[in-house]
Structure formats: C-alpha cells, structure tokens
Amino acid sequence: MKIAVIGAGAMGCLYGAYLSRSHDVVMIDTSVSQVEAIKAQGITLDEANGESVNFPNVTAAVSGEYQDAVDLVIVFVKSTYTDVALEQNSALFGESTLVMTLQNGAGNDRKIAQYVKPENIIIGTSKHNAVNLGQGRIKHPAKGDTTIGSNHNATGNVSVAEKALAEAGFAVVVADDIQRIIWSKLLVNLSINTFTAITETPIGYMVKNQHAWDFAKRLIYEAIEVAEADGTYFDRREALDMVKSVCEIAGDGYSSMYQDRKHRVKMEIDAINGAIVEQAKLYGVPTPYNTLIVALIHSIEGAYELYD
C-alpha cells in the first residue's frame, strides 16, 4: 500500500516506521528540519529494551508538497491543527483513499468527512507511548493495542487497515462500539495529559501521589456524567482501573501534552477537556473541574511569551 502519515511527530513517526517494513510510506510535516532528517537517514526508534532500530525506507515531504493520492492516510497531527493539515494535503485524498485518525480528542472524524466518504473514515486509539527526540529519532518506552473501528458500517475498509497494521507488527483490536473506545481514551487523556502538563511530571506519578489521584478522579467522574448523558455508560471503578493501568504501564514516559508544554507549543486542551465541556452544554451537565482545567491550560500557554 501507499501510505501517507500526516504529522511526523512522536506517534506519527512510530507508526510510519513500523509500517515501512511492508508498505511504501511518506511522512508529511510542517517541520522542514524533521522532513530533511527523515529523508536523509530515515526514522530511528529507541525501544524500551535499549535497542535502537533504524527504518531507512521512509520518505518525507513538507506539508502540501506531496501531490499524489494514496491508499491510506493516517492523521497524527495535534487536533488543533487538523483543519489546516487536511486542507494543505487534500491532494492525498482520492475516491478510494481510506483515512484513519489515531489522534487524541474528539471530533476529528467530522473534519475528515469534508474530504472523503464517511465509510472511508476509520477511527481509532493507540496505547503506545512515544517521545520525539528530534531529527527523526523517537523514544518508544511503552507498547499497547491499536483499537480501530467505524461509525458507518465499513467492515471491509476496517479490515484493510487492520491487515496493514498487523503486517507492520502492531497488536490490533477491531471494536464494534468504537464510540465507547473514543470515550475511554478521552477519560485517559483528560486526566493524564492535563495533570502531567500542569505538574510537568512523568505519567506514572499520577497514581503514586494521593493528591494527584484525587485530582484525576474528579475530572474522570465529571466526564463520565457527560458520557452517560450522551448514551455511553461506564462502571466508575473499571474506568479508574483503566486509567491507573495506563499510568502504571507508561511509568516514566511523558504525555503528548507535557511535551507540548515543554516545547512551548499550543496544547490540545480544547479537543480533550474542552470537548467534554462543550458536550456537557448540550445536556445541562455541570463540568466545573474540566472547565477550570481548560482555563488553566490556556493561561499556561499565555505565559510562554514570558520566557521568550
């Protein structure tokens, strides 16, 4: 297959590298230095076992420059930049192109639907953790399932994506109720991402400190109220155990939002906690904790200029 990965950050490079084992992969990114590094030396993954593996068969292009339609597009840009990334790279989308979003947050599939048929859209989540070290080098401290599905009864298209991922070595789960999976990932991100960004700590710390865990529980319980109003139900204890398990597995890994704060770039808060707040308004569900967190993260972003 000809595969384009939009977003050559940590997770995009991880998936692009593995997929290049058996597919023709091009990485698309706005960072000229990242693109040039990948073109020159491929992608290098520093695995959790200490092994460094180079994937030289990956090519790359600056966003908007690659003009050929492909078989599969995987969107891995920050949710904040989805609209711009799709518009700049609209040449990638042909009549039969499949588009898979493994991004954080909610609502990315609705943006993709402006470019391809709804049945060509595959929604998913990933439990892998990766850190962008720059110049095409990625640290890969934790592995996990890639869960995919469709909201449009597109079993055949999901099977195509499943086969491509499995051939690359990913553990793939196909979900009948992908919307529940998206909500589950939101519960993880709205607690872990925001906490680690605010406190600048590794993911595992959140379950090691009782105050930190109490913080997480308030955000999670509030979001579950919104999910249930929307028709997706969760056992509270199981939801907490799920988040706790992610923290324990990731350990000393760092969340994407933490990395965004470290590099002083805009964080994905509006597509994560902000999505909860906006959805809550439809049902009259109060979300004081998540609303506060959205304001706090934006205030942190506003302080970036103090350090320039």
pLDDT at position 98 is: 96
pLDDT at 137 over 90: yes
pLDDT at position 308 is: 63
Mean pLDDT for the stretch of residues 155-161? 91
Model's pTM, two decimal places?
0.78
pLDDT at position 70 is: 97
CB 51 within 8 A of CB 139: no
As given in the structure block, the two tokens for residue 234 are 């969760």
- 98-101: strand order across its sheet: 58-62, 24-29, 2-6, 72-75, 98-101, 121-126, 146-149, 172-174
pLDDT at 151 over 70: yes
Residue of 103 and 151 predicted with greater confidence? 103
pLDDT at 107 over 80: no
CB 100 within 8 A of CB 93: no
**Cα–Cα nearest to 145, from 127, 157, 130, 160:** 127
Mean pLDDT for the stretch of residues 259-279? 91
Q: Which domains can be identified in the chain, with CATH numbers?
A: 2-176 (3.40.50.720), 179-307 (1.10.1040.10)
Mean pLDDT for the stretch of residues 264-292? 93
pLDDT digits (tens, 9 = 90+) for 14-69: 999 999 999 999 999 999 999 999 999 999 999 989 999 999 999 999 999 999 99
pLDDT at position 3 is: 98
Angle of helix 288-302 versus helix 273-283 axis, rounded to 10: 140
As given in the structure block, the two tokens for residue 239 are 């939801």
**Cα–Cα nearest to 19, from 172, 167, 135, 174:** 167
pLDDT at position 180 is: 86
pLDDT digits (tens, 9 = 90+) for 193-218: 999 999 999 999 999 999 999 999 99
Residue 162 backbone phi and psi in degrees, to 5: -60, -45
Per-residue pLDDT band for 75 (boundaries 50, 70, 90) equals very high
Residue 235 backbone phi and psi in degrees, to 5: -80, 120
What does pLDDT average to over the chain? 93
CB 271 within 8 A of CB 104: yes
pLDDT digits (tens, 9 = 90+) for 232-244: 899 999 999 999 9
CB 32 within 8 A of CB 21: no
